[in-house]
Amino acid sequence: MTQVELHSAAAVGDQDSVALAGLRDLPQVILEQTGQAVVATDLDGTIIYFNRAAQCLLGYRWEELVGLCSPLAFLLPEELAARGRQLASRFGAGLICDFSLLVRGLPAVGAHAQRWTLQRKDGQLLAAWLGISILHDAAGQPCGYLLLLSPGEVPVAELAELKTLALAFESQAAIMITDAQQVILRVNAAFSRLTGYRPEEAIGQTPRLLKSGRQADAFYRELWAELASSGHWEGEIWNRRRSGEVYPEWLTIRAVGHASGAVTHYVATFSDISKLKQAEEAARHLAYYDALTGLPNRRLLLERLAAALAGVQRHGQYGALLMFDLDRFQSINDSCGHAFGDQLLRAVAERAQRWAGPEQTLARLGGDKFVVLLESLGNTAEAAGIRAEQAAEALRLQLAAVYELPGQAEALTCTASIGLILLQTQDKSSEILLKQLDIALTKAKEAGRNTIRFFDDRMQQAMDRRLALESGLRRALAENELVLFVQPQVDPARRLIGAECLLRWQPPGQAMIAPGEFIPLAEETGLILPIGQWVLDNACAHLRRWADSPVMSRLDLAVNVSARQFRQPDFVWQVRSALERHGVDPRRLKLEVTESLLLDNVDEVVSKMQQLIDLGVRFSLDDFGTGYASLAYLKRYPFEQLKVDRSFIRDLGCDRDDAAIVGAILAMGHALRLNVVAEGVEEGSQLSFLVEHGCRYFQGYLFGRPMSFTEFEQLVPVESCGRFPCSTQAPGG
């Protein structure tokens, strides 16, 4: 409100004083800033408040309507007002007919909306919805009405806003309005309930009345600096009630000013967040502590372990991790029941906690697995190792003592196995340390249980090798260290029909890394997905180049696709995009998958394969015979080709079983109208056997080792009927 508006409101008659007092409990700053047309009346319908948005909507100034009785009769079109007067007699004398009709049957709680036609000051008719809510005084008795005018269709959000406005000072949020010098001008009932100060005790004071003394002066300087720059501050603060009790509250302060920019008032709203703080503490306990034993859980252990590792780096003091679980706990749990198992775990936790003391962290990871973090064991590995082993032995003996559990007739003996690892000045994450510790615990189990094992150096080296390989593989993908080789595929006359893409890794200045060493790691880490996309894209690029050669354009190129890559939701899109991006004939691309893909989600796999086949892409089943594919599987999947695994071809001349298996695969392929490719053909006798049994295509060192695309393209015969030259490379080269 402006000062004129405040004086005008004060001039309203005594009969309106109760309603006006109720309105004074409403935050005018909020009503003025809401953007909605808001009108407040007393119980008889006399206007006691008329915000700027309503003035703009209806065209009347404040002084033209405030204090006017029966405002709706004044605002109604004449014909509607006349009809209202005719209905007045039906409701008795002394009532303002139209306003009584408006509020008749209004619910005591909540907001109600009804359609109305209003007339602006300029005579223009305005179809609008009126949202109406009852105002209550401090004693909870009705003292007036709050109306929200909304042209057009009434949205649910506006009714919700009306409820918010009407209930603002009836809520638990305390509101305090001060002048520019921070002198308190007005408070609401919630302020008194929350602070204990009556309005007459607070008005004329400053907010220092509530100061707890817990915040330093710097806190308040920052608060006022932000308020001066942005006009708004909110945050958590500690205040003091009239009783002297200190409590946490969430405080919001807004500066209110004239159009000139000068601050005239501050409006502060705050609420007691003691219960919220208690709930936060309870939630924190749930998040960081184990529900069964009350010990720190994995999350809190990792936080403390990270801090301990930082301390090791700073101070050079070694620490250690101990991981233990109970020997044969699963058998105890199964035979005695889960309730007994939980009782035992609590007893173990109490015993281990007494041993660890308050200075060490004991955590439960889950099940019967616990971890102890030991710090400050010494500045040399030898000294720290001795102390860690002594601590582990003391813990082992402590845990092996007899357990006498409440309600159990017989005592129980239960031993524990312990894994141990030193925390050294080395760059290892908490998760990796826990994995290594788990390996050490497994070794303790394997050594006969009820014993202690350090994480072995050889395990360490193997882990380091794996980590280095993973890091290098990520670098290889980013820095183009991956290389595509190809191996030719021929028919019985050694005519070239295509080639298979084979992935290699060539780190700078190092020996080439074989796929068998890094592909499993790529599968495990998920790197196979970007690698597979890279292979597919590069294969399509080479096919595009081959399309310009009359001889090369007829060749097929096979690309291996992992099951993980194939199961990506957008795999079909990936293949289609690569083909379109390079302008490749899809019939020249062959995707090779292994039998592991065929075991799950059959319908989904078949659907994806069929979508790609519809594009022209063909499928080959790689390493056939080494997995679990059956004839029933083969009938369901739209393969064009089978590839006999090299393990069967290798001993073809000396192993009758392998010869029988290969013969059966060839016969089955023919029966199912599938092409069969024999991999790993290295000798003429193998070739003779395969040709004799009807094999149509071959791949192996007898025809060519894996080679670069450049080498391959130089060996391709000029004529389409030319024979591909035999390899002079020894098998395995």
- Cα torsion through 278, 282, 288, 294, rounded to 10: 120
3-state secondary structure of 410: coil
Assess contact for 71 and 45: CB atoms under 8 A.
yes
**pTM tops 0.85:** no
**Residues forming a β-bridge with 329:** none
Q: Using alpha carbons only, what angle is made at residue 371 by residues 367 and 376, rounded to the nearest 5 degrees?
A: 175
Distances (CA, A) of 613 to 373, 608, 618: 57, 9, 6
Of 10, 78, 73, 85, nearest in space to 44 by CA: 73
pLDDT at 335: 75
Residue 682 lies in a domain: yes
Query: In the numeric block, which tokens belong to residue 538?
Result: 């590069």
**518 CB neighbour count, 10 Å cutoff:** 22
Q: 707 and 596 in one domain? A: yes
Distances (CA, A) of 520 to 120, 353, 432, 646: 79, 42, 19, 19
Does 100 score more than 60 pLDDT? no
pLDDT at 71: 54
Residue 730 lies in a domain: no
Phi, psi of 323 (to 5 degrees): -120, 130
What is the strand order of the sheet 142-151 is part of? Answer: 47-50, 37-42, 142-151, 125-136, 111-119
**Residues forming a β-bridge with 42:** 144
**Residues forming a β-bridge with 118:** 126
pLDDT at 488: 94
Domain-ending residue, one of 136, 168, 200: 168
Assess contact for 474 and 687: CB atoms under 8 A.
no
Q: 501 and 605 in one domain? A: yes
pLDDT at 596: 77
pLDDT at 584: 93
What amino acid is encoded at 285 in this protein? H
**390 CB neighbour count, 10 Å cutoff:** 11
Residue 727 lies in a domain: no
pLDDT at 104: 57
HEC profile of 81-102: HHHHHHHHHHHCCCCCHHHHHH
Distance of CA 607 to the CA centre of its chain: 30
Does 483 score more than 80 pLDDT? yes
Distances (CA, A) of 343 to 296, 409, 450, 539, 646: 18, 14, 21, 61, 56
Q: 496 and 349 in one domain? A: no
Out of 283-292, 440-449, 501-510, least confident range: 283-292
Domain-ending residue, one of 255, 278, 301: 278
Residue 461 lies in a domain: no
Out of 52-56, 216-220, 330-334, least confident range: 330-334
Give the domain CATH number at 559.
Answer: 3.20.20.450
How confident is the model over 22-36, as a mean pLDDT?
A: 53
Assess contact for 653 and 602: CB atoms under 8 A.
no
Query: In the numeric block, which tokens belong to residue 28?
Result: 């005018």
**599 CB neighbour count, 10 Å cutoff:** 13
Q: 328 and 201 in one domain? A: no
3-state secondary structure of 466: helix
pLDDT at 70: 56
**Model pLDDT for residues 347-365, shown as the tens digit of each residue:** 999 999 999 888 889 999 9
pLDDT at 371: 94
Give the domain CATH number at 102.
Answer: 3.30.450.20
**Model pLDDT for residues 632-648, shown as the tens digit of each residue:** 667 788 899 988 888 88
- DSSP label at 637? S
How confident is the model over 48-70, as a mean pLDDT?
A: 77
Q: 313 and 209 in one domain? A: no
How confident is the model over 439-452, as a mean pLDDT?
A: 86
Residue 283 lies in a domain: no
Residue 286 lies in a domain: no
**Cα separation, 647 vs 269, whole angstroms:** 78
pLDDT at 101: 54
Residue 131 has, within 13 A of its CA and on its CB side, a CA count of 25
Residue 449 lies in a domain: yes
3-state secondary structure of 44: coil
Of 33, 44, 55, 28, nearest in space to 168 by CA: 28
Considering only residues 11 and 541, tell me which one the structure prediction assigns the higher pLDDT: 541
pLDDT at 96: 34
Given pLDDT bands bounded at 50, 70 and 90, which one contains residue 677? very high
Does 83 score more than 70 pLDDT? no
What amino acid is encoded at 383 in this protein? A
Residue 492 lies in a domain: yes
pLDDT at 501: 95
**Residues forming a β-bridge with 499:** 488, 557
Distant-in-sequence, close-in-space partners of 121: CB < 8 Å, separation ≥ 6: 58, 59, 60, 64
How confident is the model over 383-388, as a mean pLDDT?
A: 83
Q: 86 and 54 in one domain? A: yes
**430 CB neighbour count, 10 Å cutoff:** 18
Distances (CA, A) of 241 to 84, 206, 248: 53, 14, 11
pLDDT at 46: 74
pLDDT at 601: 80
Q: 67 and 30 in one domain? A: yes
Q: 414 and 521 in one domain? A: no
Does 99 score more than 90 pLDDT? no
Q: Using alpha carbons only, what angle is made at residue 532 by residues 526 and 535, rounded to the nearest 5 degrees?
A: 150
* pLDDT averaged over every residue in the chain: 79
Give the domain CATH number at 421.
Answer: 3.30.70.270
Query: In the numeric block, which tokens belong to residue 133?
Result: 């809510």
Considering only residues 504 and 94, tell me which one the structure prediction assigns the higher pLDDT: 504
Strand residues in 456-562 grouped as ranges (E): 482-490, 496-505, 556-560
Q: 187 and 47 in one domain? A: no
pLDDT at 578: 95
Number of domains composing the chain: 4
Q: 182 and 162 in one domain? A: no
**Model pLDDT for residues 121-147, shown as the tens digit of each residue:** 887 877 777 777 777 665 666 777 788
How confident is the model over 325-351, as a mean pLDDT?
A: 86
Q: Which helix H or strand E contains 595, and what residues bound it?
A: none
pLDDT at 82: 53
User: Domain span at residue 164?
Assistant: 3-168
Query: In the numeric block, which tokens belong to residue 515?
Result: 């796929």
pLDDT at 632: 63
Distances (CA, A) of 172 to 169, 382, 558: 8, 63, 71
Does 484 score more than 90 pLDDT? yes
**Cα separation, 382 vs 374, whole angstroms:** 15
| Residue appearing with tokens 């004693």 | 139
Given pLDDT bands bounded at 50, 70 and 90, which one contains residue 500? very high
Q: 491 and 413 in one domain? A: no
Q: 138 and 233 in one domain? A: no
Does 698 score more than 50 pLDDT? yes
Of 487, 488, 490, 486, nearest in space to 687 by CA: 490
Q: What share of the chain has pLDDT > 70, as a percent?
A: 78
**Cα separation, 595 vs 623, whole angstroms:** 8
Distances (CA, A) of 332 to 338, 357, 445: 9, 28, 17
Q: Packing angle between helix 338-356 and helix 329-336, nearest 10 degrees?
A: 140
Strands 174-179 and 263-272: antiparallel
**Cα separation, 505 vs 535, whole angstroms:** 12
3-state secondary structure of 505: strand
Domain-ending residue, one of 147, 168, 189: 168
Given pLDDT bands bounded at 50, 70 and 90, which one contains residue 67? low
